[in-house]
Amino acid sequence: MTPPAAEAPASVYATALLAGLVRRGVSDVVVCPGSRSQALALAAARFEQAGLVHLHVRIDERSAGFLALGLAVESGVPAVVVTTSGTAVGNLHPAVLEAAHAGVPLLVVSADRPEELRGVGANQTTRQAGIFGDVAPHSWDVPAPAGDPGEEQAADALAAEVLDGIRGPRHVNLAFREPLSSAVRLPELEPGDWTPTARPEGETLTLAPRPGTVVVAGADAGEDAERVARELGAPLLAEVSSGARFGPNLVAAYRELLGAAGFGDRVERVVVFGHPTLSREVPALIERRGVETIVVRGAGLDAYNPGRRAARIVDRVVVETAVEPDPAWARRWVHASRGLLEEDEGSVASIGTDYAERAAFAREQLGRMRAPVTRRELALAVWNATWPHDRLVVGASRLIRELDRVAPGKRIRVHANRGLAGIDGTIATATGVALAAQRDETRPGVARVLLGDLALLHDVGSLLGGAGEAWPRLQVIVGNDHGGTIFDGLEVARSADPALADRVLLTPQHVDLAALASAYGWEHRLVTERGQLDGALTPSAGRVLVEVALAR
């Protein structure tokens, strides 16, 4: 009879570290395959088998990083992503950058060669310790465990240390010697509940209501922005990804009004929450002479401060309750915004009894239904189809800006990777958001991701999930205008040779998205007319790629 193999120090340490994370409330682990990281991967699989974690397996590290980011964004709990050594770690850099600039709690655990194999040209070995630099300043380079007494306790202590005060990405680089794994001995433990990291006390500023004040809510501003706007009696200029696009003071058409006489020119004080990125009007307002700007610091790496013109950067604001706000200031903005958004589309009630009049109206409506879809119609249809139990993720494209121009107020959960506003990992992020949101089966919903065709193709590998893993209810809605047409609205479109701009900026593509969807096992729905759009957005139980044809 063959005696059982001795426990590998790599597996003992990896198991203890994962147990320490689970005890403190971590519940999601994303694993990429690799030899040097096998102890971590096998421990995670054993923990999943025991019902202690949710395990997600991805073959592409960039996709894995953004999946973990989406899980953390929705749940508020740090998610772990595990990779092997070499280029695998470098592929996480885009997700780590986004997590840093958006303040998302993301824990990278990378496997590495031991000290004696570093710097000697060993295979798949690079300088991993501190690889993310200043964007992940909390970094640990852990020597290879040797099976010495106390290593399991040290792993548990490390778990506590890396989670203490986590607000952005952190990196644990673990060296392992052969043997790289053994059978996993599952420890006795109870999964803990995550305790959100308390914000540092910092500086609190008390503001008194006064006319001339506006509240700007950028990405991830949260509901505090809406509350402060109400208490100040101030117009609320809230981007669609702010989490504050609702309430009686919302000014959806804020771009137009910031440039209008009697509105933007009368702003004297701006209170900023979150990270505004969707307009040029907001930074222009902040940089204007005579405007006092107060920035409420977010969780991201940098405080928002265009032109370095902020008068104060504080951790929170409270409103002086002894002063009653003047409702007339906000009311003018709200009424003007509503007027700008109103469209006189006609209605059956406004049609007379004359048969010819009714027939003409019917022909007009039929023509509208058969007309091509515009970007504005697509953006509004997705917004209108989304409700509080759903989730909406919006990619970096023309569509988020179109949505930001016209979306009426609605208290729904919207996410966009606006920390660095890249197109990286949009589908992976949405998948993570959907997985975390749909665990509560008492609140059924669907997750929708609205993006352009280049963002889809940039993250096409994220259409592939782990074998045997359940997919969430997810709709990937792609506005297909066959290239990066966002450049058509920038200055370069007026100065560059069109042929050269098309080659290096538009980057035209003609991928068969129906075949692509089929290859990855997704349902494909094609929308070429306005009348098909609402039906295509109907929720279903599976994975759906909705392709909406758009003109350039």
**Which range is least confidently modeled, 45-59, 151-165, 494-508, 538-552?**
494-508
Averaged pLDDT, 99-113: 97
Give the model's pLDDT for residue 350.
43
Residues linked to residue 5 through DSSP beta bridges, in sequence order: none
3-state secondary structure 449-515: EEEEHHHHHHCHHHHCCCCCCCCCCEEEEEEECCCCHHHHHCCHHHHCCHHHHHHHHHCCCCCCHHH
At residue 300, the pLDDT reads: 93
pTM value?
Answer: 0.93
Q: pLDDT class for 346, splitting at 50, 70, 90?
A: very low
Buried b (16+ CB within 10 A) or exposed e, 443-455: eebbbbbbbbbbb
Question: pLDDT band at residue 423, thresholds of 50, 70 and 90?
Answer: very high
The mean-pLDDT minimum among 194-208, 268-282, 295-309, 422-436 falls in 194-208
Distance of CA 457 to CAs 7, 64, 70, 513, Å? 44, 16, 19, 9
Question: Is 161 within a domain?
Answer: yes
Task: Out of 104-118, 173-187, 206-220, 480-494, pick the least confident.
Answer: 480-494
Q: What residues form DSSP beta bridges with 294?
A: 271, 312
Banded model confidence at residue 349, pLDDT cuts 50, 70, 90: very low
Residue in the structure block whose two tokens are 């004080």: 269
With beta carbons less than 8 A apart as the criterion, state whether 448 and 393 touch: yes
- Mean residue pLDDT across the chain: 92
Asked whether residue 337 falls in the same domain as residue 380, the answer is no
Domain boundary residue among 299, 319, 341?
341
Query: Does residue 114 carry a pLDDT above 70?
Result: yes
Q: Per-residue pLDDT for 351 more than 60?
A: no
Asked whether residue 162 falls in the same domain as residue 311, the answer is no
- Is residue 3 over pLDDT 80? no
pLDDT band of residue 1 (cuts 50, 70, 90) is: very low
Q: Is the domain of 417 the same as that of 544? A: yes
Specify whether 263 is located in the same domain as 397.
no
- The whole-number pLDDT of residue 439 equals 92
Q: Which segments of 274-433 are extended strands (E)?
A: 292-296, 312-314, 316-319, 391-394, 413-415
Model pLDDT for residues 366-396, shown as the tens digit of each residue: 567 779 999 999 999 999 999 999 999 999 9
pLDDT of residue 2: 39
Q: How many domains does the chain have?
A: 3
Q: Would residue 231 count as lying in a domain?
A: yes
421 and 522 part of one domain: yes
Give the percent of the chain with pLDDT over 70.
94
Q: Are residues 394 and 453 in the same domain?
A: yes
Indicate if 235 and 153 belong to the same structural domain. Answer: no
pLDDT digits (tens, 9 = 90+) for 429-487: 999 999 999 998 777 799 999 999 999 999 999 999 999 899 999 999 999 998 877 77
Tokens found for residue 196: 């959100």
Give pLDDT, residue 366: 59
**Range of 223's domain?**
204-341
Confidence class for position 348, pLDDT limits 50, 70, 90: very low
Whether residue 355 is contained in a domain is answered as no
- CB contact at 8 A, 267 and 212: yes
Domain with residue 151: its CATH number is 3.40.50.970
* Alpha-carbon dihedral angle through residues 459, 460, 465, 470, given to the nearest 10 degrees: 90
pLDDT of residue 105: 97
Give the per-residue pLDDT at 266: 97
Contact 433, 391 (CB under 8 A): yes
Q: How far apart are CA 154 and CA 148, in angstroms?
A: 11
